[in-house]
Amino acid sequence: MGRGNACVHGKYEGLYYVDWDNFVGELDGERDYELEREDWEMSLETFVGDFTEKYKTFSECDIWTSRDEKAVLESTLFYIVVQDNEWSMAIKLIQKEQDYCSKGNFENLQKGLYQKYLEGIKQCLFNQFEELGIYGGAWTSGTIRKQEVA
């Protein structure tokens, strides 16, 4: 769980991993990557619906933020990005950069909200999955189980 190279870099960012083993992907005893991908897409759709219901400041988007990262939700302060991490899908809370026109203390707003949004991501993922991977730093990860945090 959580193996791979997905990480975050900002002070007010975080991520969870959903292991590919959670998705139905066998057809006649053989691993079927198309079925896994379809199952993931349905799970992502459910996550997006759950999260936007909980946090009205986020709206759906479809922005490739890098070669392998796609933003699926955004607010004025953050993106929620998904990244295929070979063994898992990473769901990341990523800080937006402040543009020159915006007023106010952007970073303090991010600091005040990022833990709330990370907790919301975790809760919405636990609506579907029993176990999540967590980022522990460069090359380290761990797992949390739904019943452990309930």
Task: Delimit the domains of the chain by residue range.
Answer: 14-22+48-149
Does the pLDDT of residue 87 top 70, yes or no?
yes
In which residue are the tokens 């959670």 written? 22
pLDDT grade for 2, boundaries at 50, 70 and 90: very low
For residue 38, give Cα distances in angstroms to 43, 49, 99. 9, 17, 36
Structure tokens given for 42: 């349905």
According to the model, what pLDDT value does residue 149 have? 74
The overall average pLDDT reported for the chain is 88
Mean pLDDT confidence for 52-70: 93
Cβ density class 14-32: b for 16+ within 10 Å, e for less:
bbbbbbbebbebeeeeeee
Mean pLDDT confidence for 111-136: 94
- Which residues pair with residue 140 across a beta bridge? 137
The backbone torsions φ and ψ at residue 50, rounded to the nearest 5 degrees and listed phi first, read -60, -45
DSSP H or E run through 145: strand 140-145
